[in-house]
Structure 1
């Protein structure tokens, strides 16, 4: 059964048994969403203290790794090997290990942290929100075609406007429920005038 992504899905659990991703060829062959512009998307590595920030970055479609089990040295090496900007609140890490590309996060609130990242790195807004899994960081599928949408989504949300997507990494399903609207509103409060208008 495809998992419901808790950040986006708010509909009641359906009594229907949904097919697992590996049992449904309509899901298995879906391509990942392609970037909508020619811009190179930023890539980040977040330390263990920044899990909530990592989810917001993923919501914006930005590839953001997070592994609480990594010690500081391995985190820095991995970020450099994968050409990621290291995001951390650990002054000791920055002082002793001197990563090549890093940003010290100054705030406690995750939306203020996000605003700091966007402003200090002068990041352009993504063409679209909700194109990456906020849980496992995998790029989501292209919008589900009607047949797969009907097969996978609970009956009470199939008619909601907006695309539905599948995560090929962990099997979660994403659609534009009330959580998505609230998160967009939170982003607009944190970064007034920054997001692109919805089509």
Structure 2
């Protein structure tokens, strides 16, 4: 399932990406969101009932979320059959740009990460689109903690 999330759902969009869901986000104009959803056969995620109604009239599949919290939104998506099992890096997409993430040899990153990070870690991943580098540091551990909480929702 491929998604496009409206501007109210930025946090959810980033988490969907971390769980491997192809999720576009950042399009501000509702008409453009609808155009992309139709052209790319994406499911619209929104909390905006007016946008949801317009989308349905055009034949766009819509998941209208009611919760304002990330946990509540994930719970609603789970009820719709989405799975939140394998968190980054198994099938993840870049939380920043939605690009695919792949493992890279440590040697390929010398000079691209701080020397202290290069010395401390052996596991690295890079976004194929934007080049963002990821490693299992403090933010990674926090992400895994939140991911475990989301799995229990």
What's the TM-score, normalizing by structure 1? 0.66
Looking at secondary structure, tell me which structure has more helix per residue: 2
Q: In the alignment, what sits opposite 2:88?
A: 129
Conserved? CA contact 2:87–2:144, under 8 Å: no
Aligned length: 149
Mark the runs of 5 or more structure 1 residues left unpaired by the alignment. Answer: 1-41, 195-199
Q: Deviations over 1:3-43 (max 9, x none)?
A: xxxxxxxxxxxxxxxxxxxxxxxxxxxxxxxxxxxxxxx21
CA shift, 1:85, in A, is 1.2
**Whole-angstrom CA distance in 1 between matches of 2:72 and 2:121:** 30
Conserved? CA contact 1:61–1:126, under 8 Å: no
Computed over aligned residues only, the root mean square deviation of the Cα atoms, in angstroms, reads 2.2
Q: Deviations over 1:23-79 (max 9, x none)?
A: xxxxxxxxxxxxxxxxxxx211000111111111111121110133322x3312311
Aligned pair in 2 of structure 1 residues 43, 160: CA closer, same or farther (>3 Å)?
Answer: farther
Misfit runs of 4+, over 6 Å? none
Aligned pair in 2 of structure 1 residues 154, 70: CA closer, same or farther (>3 Å)?
Answer: same
CA shift, 1:128, in A, is 4.8
Q: Does 1:43 align with 2:34?
A: no
Q: Highest relative contact order (Cα 8 Å, sep 6+), 1 or 2?
A: 1
Q: In the alignment, what sits opposite 1:173?
A: 133
Q: Which of structures 1 and 2 has the bigger CA Rg?
A: 1
**Whole-angstrom CA distance in 1 between matches of 2:70 and 2:26:** 17
Q: In the alignment, what sits opposite 1:79?
A: 37
Secondary structure in 1 matching 2:104: coil
